[in-house]
Amino acid sequence: MIRHPAFACDPWQVCEKTLSLDVLAQTESIFALSNGHIGLRGNLDEGEPHALPGTYLNSVYELRPLPYAEAGYGYPESGQTVVNVTNGKLIRLLVDDEPFDVRYGTLHEHERVLDMRAGTLTRRVRWCSPAGGHVRITSTRLVSFTHRAVAAIKYEVEPVDRPLRVVVQSELVANETVPRIDADPRAGALIPTPLVLEENIPAAEGAAVMVHRTRVSGLRVAAAMRHEVDGPQGTRIEADGEGDVSRVTVATRLLAGQRLRLIKYIGYGWSAVRSRPALHDQVVAALAAAKLTGWDGLCAEQREFLDEFWAGADVELEDDEEVQQAVRFGLFHLLQAGARVEQRLIPGKGLTGSGYDGHAFWDTEGFVLPVLTYTYPRAAADALAWRLSILPKARARAAQLGLEGAAFPWRTINGEECSGYWPAGTAAFHVNADIADAVIRYVDATEDVGFERDVGLPLLVATARLWCSLGFFGPDGRFRIDGVTGPDEYSAIRDNNVFTNLMARRNLLAAAAAAERYPADAERLGVAPEEIAGWRKAAGAMYIPYDERLGVHPQHEGFTQHEVWDFASTRPEQYPLMLHFPYFELYRKQVVKQADLVLAMHLCSDCFTPEQKARNFAYYEALTVRDSSLSACTQAVLAAEVGFLELAYAYLGEAALMDLRDLQNNTRDGVHMASLAGAWLALVAGFGGMRADNGVIRFAPRLPALLRRLAFRLRYRGRLLAVEVTPERTVYRLLDGPPLTMVHYDEEITLSDEATRPTPEVRPPDIEIRQPPGREPLPRVPFRGCAALPGRSPAAGGRPGPAAGPGDRKGPEAGGRAGDPETA
C-alpha cells in the first residue's frame, strides 16, 4: 500500500515530496511516461536503486515455450513476453569522483512531479556526497506525443557552496539485469539477455547508435542518442562504446553559481523486416528532427498537444480532491497508452511495466476504448486497426478450433494466442463480441464511413461468422452458445452466459446491417444474402436465461441453482480466492470474481427493464468479491443507475485509486489501464448517466449527497460537448460543431448553444443491498487537501488491509506455468 506522507494530491500533478524506497517499484509505474510507441518507466536517472528497470517499444516481444504436463490439441505452443529494450534514460553523475546514489551521503531534498498538462516528469534533488560535495540536480523527462520515435531529457547540475569536479555519463545500455521481485504470477516472465548485439557505433558530438535483435522472435531494435551540452569553458565531451553499453562522458569543473546543462535526445525504432542499415538511419533521422525542434520546441508541442486533449476530455469534480487527481491521472495514462499506437495493441498495463507479460486482453475493447472513443477517437481507431491486422491469425485460430470466422486471442502481443490455460483463455470467446462492440461504438460516435467500410465491416463479418459456427439452434428453436467462459473467471465452461449471448446478438445484428450498407465490400468478403439472413435468425432466437423463481437473470444457464459460496467461513486472508482454493471449487459455486451479468446490464442496457436491473444488481452484489480490478467501476455504473448513489461513490473511489494507492498490490508491475478507464466510466456513465447509440447521446445525471458538482467534456459526432451537473440543475453546452439532438432523461433536446434542465432527485429502490462479509467497499468520504497519511485506510473506497491481497489476474494462467492452474 502506498501510504508515505509525501504522496500529495494536486489537481494537475502527481507529486512525491520525499523519496521512499519502500514504494520505489510502485512509483516507477506511476511516474512512467509513454506515447503508445515508447514507454519509459519512472526509474531514477542514475539507474540505481531500481525495482524494475523498464524501457519498452510497443509490440517488441520475445518468444518463450509454454510447458504443459500433458499436451493437448489446440494448446498454444509458445508465449510472448514484452522485452526491456535498450535503456536510454540513464544519466550517471560523479561529484569529485563519488557517484551520485541516493542510498549514500545525505539526501537533503528529493521531489518528483508528474505534470499532466505539460506531459513531463521533473525531478529536483539536493544531495551531499559522503565527502561533502553538495549539489543541486534537476532533470526533466518527456516522451514526445508529436515525435513518435523520440524521448528527451534535460539534466542540470550545479554546486551549492563550493567548486566541484563534475562528470556526467549519459548511456545506452541493453540487456539490463531485471530482478524478479517475487513469485507473483501477475508479473511478467523473466527472460535474461533477450537482445543480441548487431551494432554499437559511438560518434562525434556526443552521439551513438546501437542495434540489437531479439534471440528467438527475430525483431530488430535500434536506439540512438544525441546531446547538447552547455557548460563552462573547458568542458570536455567523449564518446565510447563496447558490447551492450554506449556512453557519452561530459567532464567539467563548476564554480559556485555555474551550471552544467545536458539535453539528451533519444530515438527508438524497431522492425521485423527492415535491415540493420535502414533501422540505423531511421533513428538517426528521428534525432535530427528532434534536435531541429529543440528542447523548448518539444516542450511547447507537448503542451499544445495536451491542451487540445484536455479541451475535449477533462473531468472536474468538486469536494473530492483525491478522486479529482485520480481521474485526470487515469485519463493521462490512457492517452499515453493510446496516442501513437498506430495500429498496435494497447496492453493491459500500457507501456508502464511488464505485468501480464505486456499482453493485450479484452480490457482494451471493454474498458479503455469506450473512454478513448469519446475523448481521443483516433487512438480507438488505431487500436481497432491493429485487430484488423491480426485478423488472418484469428481466422487461423478459428480454423484450428474447427470454427468459422475469426477467434481472436484471449491474451497476445503478436496476434497469436498465448494463454496456456484454455478455460480462461480459449473458452472466453466473448473477446470477439467485445471487439465488435468497440467497432459499433466508434462508428456511432464518429460517423467514420471509411473506417466502417475498411476496418469495421471485416471485423464484424469475421466475428459474426464465429458465433454462427460456435452456437446452434436447440430443440426448442432457441440459439444456444454452450461451453464458454464469460467475464467472470470464477465460472468457466458454462452454457449460455448472458453477457456473451447478448453481446453476440449485438455483433450479429451489426454485421448484418453493415453488410447491407456496403454490399460490394461484403460480397468481396464472401457474404451472401442467405448468410445475412442467418445472422438475423440467430440473433432473433438468442437464448437469454431467466430464473422465474428468483426473478433474476442467472449469470449463465443454471448458475442460480449452484450452491452459494460459504462466505461466512472464508477468512479475510483467503482473498483473493483463486490463490487459496482450487478452481474446481470456484467453478461449481455461486461466487463472482468480477462483474459479469452486471456488466451486461451496462453495455446492453436496453435489454433489461429498470426492475430487472435493480433485482439483478442486488442479487449479484451479494456474490461479487472483486478479486479483479475490472469490477469496481462496473458496479459503480450500475449502482448509480439503479439509485444507490453512495455505494456508487464508494466503488468510484476504489476504481480511481487502484494505482495511486496500490489497492491490488501489483502497481509495481505497471498501472491498471482498465481500472484507470473505469474511473471515467464511473463518473460519466455512472453519475452522468451517459449512454449513446444509433446517433443519439443520452444523459440521466445524478450525484451522491457528498458531491456538489461534476463537469466533463466529450466528443460525439464532430461536436464538443460540455456537461455540468449539480444537485439542482444540469447544464449542457455545445462548445463546437453543428446543433446536436440529445436526450436528458426522457426529454429530447436540440442543443445549439446551451440548455439547462433540473437534475431530478434519484431515490434507491426498496431493496436490500449487501456484499459478501468483509468485501464491502469502504464508504467514501470526500478528501480535501490530501496527502496519503500513514496507516490510513485504502483511500475510502478500497478494501481494508488483508482483504486487499494480490489478486488481479487475467484468469488462472496469467504469468504462471501453463497447464498448472494450482500454481498459475
For residue 428, pLDDT beyond 90: yes
Q: How many of the other CB atoms lie within 10 Å of CB of 533?
A: 11
Q: Which three cell numbers stand for residue 784?
A: 480535501
Query: Using 50, 70 and 90 to split pLDDT, how confident is the model at 187?
Result: low
Residue 630 phi/psi, 5-degree rounding, is -80, -10
Q: How far apart are CA 434 and CA 674, in angstroms?
A: 14
Q: How far apart are CA 109 and CA 378, in angstroms?
A: 41
For residue 804, pLDDT beyond 50: no
> What pLDDT is stored for residue 798 in this prediction?
33
What average pLDDT does the segment 492-509 reach? 98
Q: Which three cell numbers stand for residue 513?
A: 446491417
Residue/partner pairs of 821-824 with CB below 8 Å, 24 or more apart:
821/421, 821/583, 822/582, 823/185, 824/185, 824/420, 824/421
> What pLDDT is stored for residue 227 in this prediction?
96
Helix, strand, coil % over all residues of the chain, rounded to 5: 30, 25, 45
Query: Using 50, 70 and 90 to split pLDDT, how confident is the model at 782?
Result: confident
Query: Using 50, 70 and 90 to split pLDDT, how confident is the model at 734?
Result: very high
Helix residue spans in 488-642 (DSSP H): 498-517, 519-524, 529-540, 583-587, 597-603, 610-621, 631-642
Q: Which three cell numbers stand for residue 133?
A: 560535495
Q: How far apart are CA 679 and CA 664, in angstroms?
A: 15
Q: Do domains 32-65+85-293 and 315-720 have the same CATH topology?
A: no
- What is the tens place of the pLDDT at every residue in 367-397? 999 999 999 999 999 999 999 999 999 999 9
> What pLDDT is stored for residue 795 in this prediction?
32
- What is the tens place of the pLDDT at every residue in 99-157? 999 999 999 999 999 999 999 999 999 999 999 999 999 999 999 999 999 999 999 99
> What pLDDT is stored for residue 814 in this prediction?
35
Q: Which amino acid is present at 388?
A: L
Residue 121 phi/psi, 5-degree rounding, is -115, 120
Mind giving me the DSSP string for 576-595? SGGGTS-HHHHHTEE-BSS-
Positive or negative, the Cα torsion across 422, 424, 430, 432?
A: negative
Mapping DSSP to helix (H, G, I), strand (E, B) and coil, where does residue 159 land? strand
Q: Which amino acid is present at 757?
A: R
Q: How far apart are CA 801 and CA 804, in angstroms?
A: 6
CATH number for 32-65+85-293 (one of 3.30.110.30, 2.70.98.40, 3.40.50.620, 2.60.40.60): it is 2.70.98.40
- What is the tens place of the pLDDT at every residue in 513-536? 999 999 999 999 999 999 999 999
Q: How far apart are CA 809 and CA 629, in angstroms?
A: 9
Q: Are 493 and 484 in contact (CB under 8 A)?
A: yes
For residue 424, pLDDT beyond 90: no
What average pLDDT does the segment 214-226 reach? 97
- What is the tens place of the pLDDT at every residue in 23-44? 999 999 999 999 999 999 999 9
Q: How far apart are CA 665 and CA 518, in angstroms?
A: 48
Q: Which three cell numbers stand for residue 779?
A: 464508504
What residues pair up with 252 in beta bridges, in sequence order? 166
pLDDT > 90 fraction of the chain, expressed in percent and rounded: 87
- CA angle 362–366–372, rounded 5-degree value: 115
Q: Is 593 annotated as a binding residue?
A: yes
Give me the residue label for grid cell 475523448: 375
What residues pair up with 742 in beta bridges, in sequence order? 697, 749
For residue 667, pLDDT beyond 80: yes
Cα–chain-centroid distance for residue 411?
14
Q: Which three cell numbers stand for residue 164?
A: 566541484
489 counts as catalytic? yes
For residue 601, pLDDT beyond 90: yes
Of the ranges 145-149, 604-608, 815-819, which one carries the lowest mean pLDDT score?
815-819
Q: How far apart are CA 641 and CA 611, in angstroms?
A: 11
Q: How far apart are CA 426 and CA 408, in angstroms?
A: 9
What average pLDDT does the segment 432-461 reach? 98
Q: Is 161 annotated as a binding residue?
A: no
> What pLDDT is stored for residue 7 in this prediction?
63
If one compares 65 and 646, the residue with the highest pLDDT of the two is 646
CATH number for 315-720 (one of 1.20.140.10, 1.10.287.610, 1.50.10.10, 3.30.420.40): it is 1.50.10.10
Q: How many residues does the chain have?
A: 824
Q: How far apart are CA 405 and CA 721, in angstroms?
A: 38
Q: Which amino acid is present at 362?
A: W
Query: Using 50, 70 and 90 to split pLDDT, how confident is the model at 2?
Result: low
Query: Using 50, 70 and 90 to split pLDDT, how confident is the model at 489?
Result: very high
Query: Using 50, 70 and 90 to split pLDDT, how confident is the model at 611?
Result: very high
What separation in angstroms does the CA of 434 have from each of 215, 363, 466, 636?
34, 9, 13, 20
What average pLDDT does the segment 676-683 reach? 98
**Domains in the chain: boundaries:** 32-65+85-293, 315-720
Q: In what helix (H) or strand (E) does residue 752 lie, and over which residues does it extend?
A: none
What average pLDDT does the segment 89-99 reach? 97
- Which residue, 269, 84, 240, is CA-closest to 176? 84
> What pLDDT is stored for residue 185 in this prediction?
54
- Residue in 158, 489, 654, 813 annotated catalytic: 489
Q: Which three cell numbers stand for residue 453?
A: 467500410
**Residue 160 DSSP one-character state:** S
What separation in angstroms does the CA of 33 have from each of 122, 185, 585, 685?
11, 25, 42, 28
For residue 183, pLDDT beyond 60: no
Mapping DSSP to helix (H, G, I), strand (E, B) and coil, where does residue 441 land? helix
Residue 240 phi/psi, 5-degree rounding, is -150, 160
Residue/partner pairs of 424-428 with CB below 8 Å, 24 or more apart:
424/485, 424/489, 424/492, 424/810, 424/811, 424/812, 424/813, 425/811, 425/813, 426/74, 426/401, 427/483, 427/484, 427/485, 427/492, 427/493, 428/362, 428/484, 428/485, 428/486, 428/489, 428/811
Q: Are 42 and 121 in contact (CB under 8 A)?
A: yes
For residue 182, pLDDT beyond 60: no
Q: Are 723 and 731 in contact (CB under 8 A)?
A: yes
- Which residue, 199, 229, 197, is CA-closest to 214? 197
Positive or negative, the Cα torsion across 775, 780, 786, 789?
A: negative
Q: How far apart are CA 173 and CA 247, in angstroms?
A: 9
Residue 523 phi/psi, 5-degree rounding, is -65, -40
Q: How many of the other CB atoms lie within 10 Å of CB of 756?
A: 12
- Which residue, 596, 493, 473, is CA-closest to 541? 473
Q: Which three cell numbers stand for residue 795?
A: 483511500
Helix residue spans in 219-376 (DSSP H): 276-311, 321-338, 363, 369-375
Q: In what helix (H) or strand (E) does residue 678 lie, and over which residues does it extend?
A: helix 673-680
> What pLDDT is stored for residue 59 in this prediction?
97
- In terms of Cβ atoms closer than 10 Å to its own Cβ (0-12, 13-18, 19+), residue 365 is buried
Q: How far apart are CA 678 and CA 662, in angstroms?
A: 15
> What pLDDT is stored for residue 16 in this prediction?
94
- Which residue, 731, 21, 736, 7, is CA-closest to 329? 7
Considering the chain, what is the average pLDDT of its residues?
92
Q: Which three cell numbers stand for residue 477?
A: 428453436
For residue 783, pLDDT beyond 50: yes
Q: Are 470 and 403 in contact (CB under 8 A)?
A: yes
Of the ranges 81-85, 284-288, 582-586, 812-816, which one carries the lowest mean pLDDT score?
812-816
Which value, in Å, is the radius of gyration of the alpha carbons in the chain?
27
What separation in angstroms does the CA of 732 have from each of 371, 497, 703?
19, 38, 16
Cβ-Cβ contacts under 8 Å for 102 (sequence gap 6 or more) = 19, 21, 44, 49, 110, 125, 127
Of the ranges 124-128, 181-185, 445-449, which one carries the lowest mean pLDDT score?
181-185
Mapping DSSP to helix (H, G, I), strand (E, B) and coil, where does residue 373 land? helix
What average pLDDT does the segment 692-715 reach? 97
Beta strands in 120-182 (DSSP E): 120-128, 134-143, 150-159, 164-173
> What pLDDT is stored for residue 71 in this prediction?
77
Q: Is 363 annotated as a binding residue?
A: yes
- Which residue, 791, 367, 375, is CA-closest to 599? 367
Q: Is 270 annotated as a binding residue?
A: no
- Which residue, 196, 239, 207, 227, is CA-closest to 86? 196
pLDDT > 70 fraction of the chain, expressed in percent and rounded: 93
For residue 799, pLDDT beyond 60: no
